[in-house]
Chain A
């Protein structure tokens, strides 16, 4: 498989949230703001890359009958180590992301990529796949978070400077005179936003496909 294709799959064609509908638990729970979505996405991306590389490295040693428990132990260990290391040496970041790290253990997207890709692919391809899937996930979570935050609280990237550093205070925005519709922050808002985004993706893909065929048709005729 070409790397370009792997990247396109991760970002769009097989996007964890918008196409595979995996990892719904973090996608719904964490996306109450764009900043939270971004933080969760980046933490997941890091774990996804390392997990994919490790699984790819041991893929010939692990027999298929016991691969699931082996991968689960591997991922859980990895997440715990990341949790400890961040707590010790990146403590400020840990205070913001700490809550999300533990959630990554139950993120089925990571086991999903180990199963669907890394166990059959080389180390470099697995790393690229982990990165692309992770960034696709990050993008999806950030988008859902931004929409919910904007509709629900009238802000964009609130508290981003806590996550990214004081320099990013500039991207924090507040819509004056609008305090938001509470429902969008609550779980129903998450499902509603995801539903509309999925529908929007379908419409966009239909339209793109339609344009492609109409562009091809005259040439054929």
Chain B
């Protein structure tokens, strides 16, 4: 019996599907296993790079990735990385997220011990290219307008885009995106304020 006749048998088709699925699963399992360490290392490096970009040079002398605590926020554990200098906590870095135009905008922000922002960076978003993506530091300096701001400076009602009576620029044709970022950063500062003692380890 040649291949052509075997191919037409009813039993051949489920067997073929099964073998293909098995081979595909094996390939995926192998690829996942082979790349796991390299991906983890690459992501840790990304994290280290963005931490280094957020904090002023020489701000911390510890490995932030190793010095982290978990604090509950809205029922979810949130990882807070602590920046120390001479053993004393000088600032904290953590993620905040807010629903943007298309999906959640993931933001990494650094706050100093007094609750002023040291830096804000968008790490992941799905905003409209050419419009909402000006929140990326690579494309626009807008995100730097948060540097040095705190909950009291500007006043709480000024923590909004200009269209809503605040101090932050919106982009032409895209208000929802910067509005979400402003809200996320403000929320992050409020989170820091209410957990300040825990984070500073006082």
Interface residues of A (CB under 8 A from B): 32-33, 36, 60-63, 65-66, 69-70, 73-74, 76-77, 80-81, 84-85, 87-89, 91, 95, 149, 152-153, 159, 162, 179-180, 182, 185-186
Q: Specify the chain A residue showing the minimal Cβ separation from B4.
A: A60
Taking CB atoms, residues of chain A closer than 8 Å to B39 are 84, 87-88
Query: Is B38 in contact with A89, judged by CB distance below 8 angstroms?
Result: yes
Chain A residues lying within 8 Å of B35, measured Cβ to Cβ, are: 84-85, 87-89
- Minimum CB distance partner of B6 in chain A: A63
Contact of A33 among B13, B31, B130 (CB under 8 A): B130
Asked whether any CB of chain A lies closer than 8 Å to the CB of B69, the reply is no
Give the distance in Å from the alpha carbon of A77 to the alpha carbon of B31 in the complex: 10
A-B CB contact pairs (8 Å), 8 listed = A61-B16, A62-B16, A63-B8, A66-B16, A84-B32, A88-B42, A162-B138, A185-B129
Main secondary structure of the interface of A (DSSP, over half): helix
Q: Given A32-B130, A36-B129, A185-B129: A77 and B24 within 8 A (CB)?
A: yes
Is B131 interfacial (CB-CB < 8 Å)?
yes
Q: Is the CB of A87 within 8 A of B28?
A: no
B 125-142 to A, binary, CB cutoff 8 A, 1 in contact else 0: 000111100000011000
When the two chains form their complex, are residues B28 and A185 in contact, meaning their CB atoms are under 8 A apart?
no
- Looking at B13, B17, B28, which has the most chain A CB atoms within 10 Å of its CB? B13
Is B21 an interface residue, CB under 8 A from the partner?
Answer: yes
Count B-side interface residues using an 8 Å CB cutoff: 29
Partner pick for B16 among A70, A88, A149, CB 8 A cutoff? A70
Complex partner residue of A185 from B3, B17, B130, CB under 8 angstroms: B130
Closest A residue to B23 by CB, please name it: A77
Q: A-contacting residues of B (Cβ < 8 Å)?
A: 3, 7-8, 12-13, 16-17, 20-21, 24, 27-28, 31-32, 34-35, 38-39, 42, 45-46, 128-131, 138-139, 172-173
* Residues of B contacting A80 in the complex (Cβ-Cβ under 8 angstroms): 28, 31
| Interchain residue pairs A-B with the least CB separation, the first 10 | A88-B38, A88-B35, A91-B42, A77-B24, A32-B129, A185-B130, A63-B7, A84-B35, A81-B31, A66-B13
Could you list 4 further interchain pairs (A-B, Cβ under 8 angstroms) beyond the known A33-B129, A76-B24, A81-B31? A63-B13, A88-B35, A159-B138, A182-B131
Q: Is B139 within 8 A of A60, CB to CB?
A: no
Residues of chain A within 8 A (CB-CB) of B28 are 77, 80-81
Interchain CB contact under 8 A, B17 and A69: yes
Inter-subunit contact A186/B31 (CB<8 Å): no
Instruction: Report the nearest B residue to A90, measured CB to CB.
Output: B42
Complex contacts, B42 vs chain A, CB 8 Å: 87-88, 91
In the complex formed, the residue of A with least CB distance to B13 is A66
Q: How far is the CB of B18 from chain A (nearest CB, A)?
A: 11
Enumerate chain B residues within 8 angstroms of A95, measured Cβ to Cβ. 46
When C-beta atoms are compared, the residue in chain B nearest to A73 turns out to be B24
Minimum CB–CB distance from B140 to chain A (whole Å) comes to 12
In the complex, what distance in Å separates the CA atom of A63 from the CA atom of B19?
13
